[in-house]
Chains A and B, each alone.
Chain A
Amino acid sequence: MPGWLLTVWAAVVAMVVVFTFLTIMVMFSVWMERKVAGFIQHRVGPMRAGGFHGWAQSIADSIKLLFKEDLILIGADRKLFQIAPALVMATATAMFVVLPFAPGWQVADADLGVFLILALASVTTIGVIMAGWGSYNKWSVYGAMREAAQVASYEIPLALSLIPPILHYGTFSLATATEAQAGWGGMQWYVFSSAAPVAWLSFPLFFIAALAENKRAPFDLPEAESELVAGFHTEYTGIRFSFFFLEEYAAMFVMGAVGAALWFGGWNFPGIHLLEPGSALLQVLALFAFVAKAMALVFVMMWVRWTVPRLRIDQVMTLGYKYLTPLSMAVVLIAAFWEFGLHLIQD
């Protein structure tokens, strides 16, 4: 086969694998969110679709969404309206390309792993703003403007809070950072390593900034249900709506995965040193460990959503600019001192 065809073929296979994984992960996340919400609210969530605790509810909902009527309002900007969900979905899927699922199991070992994820998260925002503006609806415009303000406020804390682990492991690549956390029988995670205090300081900042980037409560103003009906995606129906929905849970998983990879050891699990590298058992257990850690962080995001009320937009921006930005700058300084300055004192 000629070289270029091989590349194209590899890209197609990668796309199919990633998209399948993403779809299954999102369906599972939606089901988990509804069950978690149910049990927190003294009820049970879906129970009937598929029998055991309604596991097939997400599948049923997706099929239902496919059959819905596709409406575009007469005054809406057709091109923006139609491109927005596609843009949002494309960037969310692209973020999966640099996630380290298991040793060697990564779509692309880019040197700029985390940086790529940050960049793509910003492009997602453009899609949201297009959706809000393109719908012929003032409430959607409000959602879009709030999204723009919110994401702009939290870009800096998100990026700065990622710097401590990057400094410690000396690389942007998530796979390299995960491999470096394999010591101590697979437990030398960043949060247990020699720079543990810095890790515990930077992780909450990252988590809060990630919540804000993902439009999750308490920062879910762009789609604030009780004020704006559905914010920027009010006018979307059917498949187009399902793309926004998919993107939200995909982005949640990506942020959870980044948190897991950089702070909690990625695919490393206790006892990883006992298994033969390259063996099927190791790969499967590593994949399971990685996905479990990411889903644990996603669970915490859901737990927070069902507990706290929503912040008003000026409070969101105050939190971002006045609290998180100075704190994350301080944490970066502490991290820099910890990594490079400590030995100056010890000597």
Chain B
Amino acid sequence: MALPTPPREPARRHHYLGDILSTIHSTAKGMALTMRYLWRKPVTMDYPKEKPVIDQRYRGIHVLDQQLCIYCDLCAKACPVDCIEMDAVRHGKEIEWKAFTLDYQKCMFCELCVYPCPKDCFIQGTEYSMVSEDRNDFVHDLLTWKGLREEEPS
């Protein structure tokens, strides 16, 4: 089917009988289309039972690979709303982590914090669900371990 192009001539203005026939005709065509829709498969999914497949590039909740992070603060400086705060102490080449918080009440999921990272350790993952009844739950601490190094599992 060729691409539709705009018709050149204005349509004829109808008169009494033509009005009646064109109304019936266009309504019938519209109703035939909606009848076809009635029998087609719905395009929605039953949400809590079926969840959508999230693309890998989706901008969800942030994930920090703490081993690679060098505490350069570039992500926090890039954020337009200043929602990232990090606190650590350097001991030579090692870093003693105290906190790395991201306030999701301010975050606008724009991904500007992800691009400047020199070590590619900060990404936005595919998790999107964040529900709570307490405002403090929205300030996420992204650290997996605190202190100088990850404790060995005993």
Contact = CB atoms under 8 A, between A and B. Distances in A.
In the complex they form, do A and B come into direct contact, defined as C-beta atoms under 8 angstroms apart?
yes
Interface of A: 36, 38-44, 47, 303-304, 306-308, 323
Contact of B44 (A43, A304, A308): A43
A323 B14 CA distance: 14
Given A47-B46, A323-B20, A42 B31 contact: no
B67 interface: no
Contacts of B31: 303-304, 307
A36 B39 CA distance: 10
A198 to B, nearest CB: 18
B38 A36 contact: yes
A44 B38 CA distance: 10
A38 B42 contact: yes
Given A39-B37, A303-B35, A44 B42 contact: yes
Nearest to A218: B27
Interface string B55-97: 0000000000000000000000000000000000000000000
A308 B31 CA distance: 8
Contacts of A41: 37
Residues of B contacting A: mostly = helix
Contact of B30 (A36, A38, A43, A307): A307
A191 B87 CA distance: 84
29 contacts: A36-B38, A38-B42, A39-B38, A39-B39, A39-B42, A40-B34, A40-B38, A42-B40, A42-B42, A42-B43, A43-B42, A43-B43, A43-B44, A44-B42, A44-B44, A44-B46, A303-B31, A303-B35, A303-B38, A304-B27, A304-B31, A307-B27, A307-B31, A307-B33, A307-B34, A308-B27, A308-B30, A323-B19, A323-B20
B34 A42 contact: no
A42 B30 CA distance: 15
Interface of B: 19-20, 27, 30-31, 33-35, 37-40, 42-44, 46
A41 B27 CA distance: 17
Contacts of B46: 44, 47
Nearest to B48: A48
Nearest to A38: B42
A157 to B, nearest CB: 14
Contacts of B39: 39
A47 B46 CA distance: 9
Contacts of B42: 38-39, 42-44
A241 to B, nearest CB: 28
B37 A40 contact: yes
Contacts of B43: 42-43
A39 B40 CA distance: 8
A42 B42 CA distance: 4
B45 to A, nearest CB: 10
A39 B41 CA distance: 8
B70 to A, nearest CB: 49
Contacts of A323: 19-20
Contacts of A47: 46
B128 to A, nearest CB: 21
A307 B23 CA distance: 13
Nearest to A323: B20
A307 B42 CA distance: 17
A303 B37 CA distance: 11
Given A307-B27, A307-B30, A308-B30, A42 B20 contact: no
